[in-house]
Structure formats: C-alpha cells, structure tokens
Structure 1
C-alpha cells in the first residue's frame, strides 16, 4: 500500500481526473520506457512473426550463442561451429563471422544496396534511415529480419522450402 502513497495528496488522487480508477493507477505504476529505435523494422507488417521474435531476441543479445551456453555450463567449447576460429558470441554471429558477413553481402548485392554491415547495431542504425519507398523499405527490412533469423543457430532450417538456397563457401543458407 505504501507504493500508492506517491499518487495521493491529502487523500486526493493526483493523476488523471483526480478520481482513482484502475486504468489511471496502472498507468501511474507502470514503467514508461522510451521505444527503441529498431522496433519499427523488426515489427514490420511484412515480417513473419517468428522472424521478428528471433530478431528482437538478437537485438537484446539474448540468442543462445555458444559463449552463453558455455557460461551456463551446457557445453564445454564456445568456438563457432562454422569455422572454429573464434568464440561464437552475438557480435561474432551477427555479422563478424565470415559466413554471416558473406550472407549479408550477398543479400545487399541481391537487393541492390551499396552497404556492408559488421554488426547488428550498425544494421539497426542503417534501418532507421528513410529508404527508397515505403513498400520497398518494408521489403528490405523484412529481408534483413529473415537474414538474422536464418543466421541464428537455433533456427530450424528445413521450413524454407520455397526459398532459393544460397551457397556460401560450401555451406547452404
């Protein structure tokens, strides 16, 4: 009950129409955080929801990469499974790894973009800029959301039967 004391002044509700109701109490209690700049391209209307969700997790750096799994005691080796050079971190997986960097390059080339991305933060910064047209922007953003989804090691890759498979250094994408 002490939580509500800040919302009252001499038994009078200080917010809204000075009459307490549940909606006004909830609005007063909840934490108002600013919207992150990358939410609009992730929750794009053309995106498949599971791709948006995986990209959202990746932006918060919560993908179960091998370094996180090692930290949790689930595995003993945190090396990237593709090239076994570096630890598989979120930064490595999205787009420092040779495989994901090549996938990003091929996607940019296919979309006619003169851009290279070395991290998710760089991609998110680029996505907030206005792109060519509204629909084309949605398509480009959806393609990059799909790329993040496909590069994620937890993603089951057998559900993309309609997609053209890209060959990158002998590996399929």
Structure 2
C-alpha cells in the first residue's frame, strides 16, 4: 500500500474514532439526580460540565414528586412553569443535545424551581472546524443576542477523546497505521 493510501486509511480511522468517542452522557445532579433533597446546586453542577452537540443529558427522579419542563430563558429566570416548551414525566428522561446555546429546564411542581430545581445546559460552540453541524430539533429558546458571553475556555485546544472507548479506538487506529506502514 502506498504511503498516501495508508495516510487516508489512518485519517479515516481517526475520524471514526473521534466520532465514536465524541458523545458523553451527563446525569443531571450526578448521583443525587433531579431532586430538591440535599440542596443540590444545579448551576454549579452544570458549570463543571463541558456540554457538546451529540451529548445526552439524563434526568432521573421520582415521577410521583417531580417532572422536567423545558422552558424559555424568561420562564427559567422567573420559575414560570405555566406554558413549558415540553414536559417530561417518566422519571428517567434522556435528551440528546442537537444544537448550541442555552437549554433551560426546571421542575414544574410548585415551589421546586424556587428551591433550586432548575438547570441551564449551555452548549458552547468550540470551533467551526472541530464542531459538528447542529440541527434544529432542540433549538435554543433564547436568541444569541440575549445570551451572556461564555467564560473563556482554559482547556487545551487539542481535541481530546472522551471515555475509554475513544482512547481505545484511537490506540487501535494508531496500531493499524503503524502496521500498515511497516508492511508496505
């Protein structure tokens, strides 16, 4: 196999590895889940995450006592649950992030949002070259002009694969490339 062909095969494997390893699953509230018990700071929780298009967020909660409502920014700020964009009530709701921007959720049970059961999932666009193209299935209810500027990202600009599967796939791609280059 010529070097050019090997390079193309290697690049295709690397692109596949990145695509496989890109999506992450975020359980809202981590082990505590979606609740008002334990004074969980969902704002602080969300600030520790790096949400990306393709990721999934899971709301786990007792459906007898809670729900999940997707709302506009104004409704989020005022804890207004009167006309949500969507309402989920299963107790185990998964939402796939399909676009950038802020996605606002709250519990519509009276008093729960006021007690802190609300979360702003902010999906920041990393760069035009590295980011996948978003779809409009989960359009942000806030126009970009009303969204505060994101905090500077202190992370390295190098694309890092998430999870063991991504690292394993990258390692396999590297071994395949080295094997192809030594058997030419």
Work out which of the two has the higher radius of gyration on C-alpha atoms and give 1 or 2: 1
| TM-score range normalised by the length of the shorter chain | under 0.3
Q: Which has the higher strand share?
A: 2
TM-score, normalised with respect to structure 2 = 0.26
Greater relative contact order, per chain length (Cα 8 Å cut-off, separation 6+): 2
Q: Which has the higher helix share?
A: 1
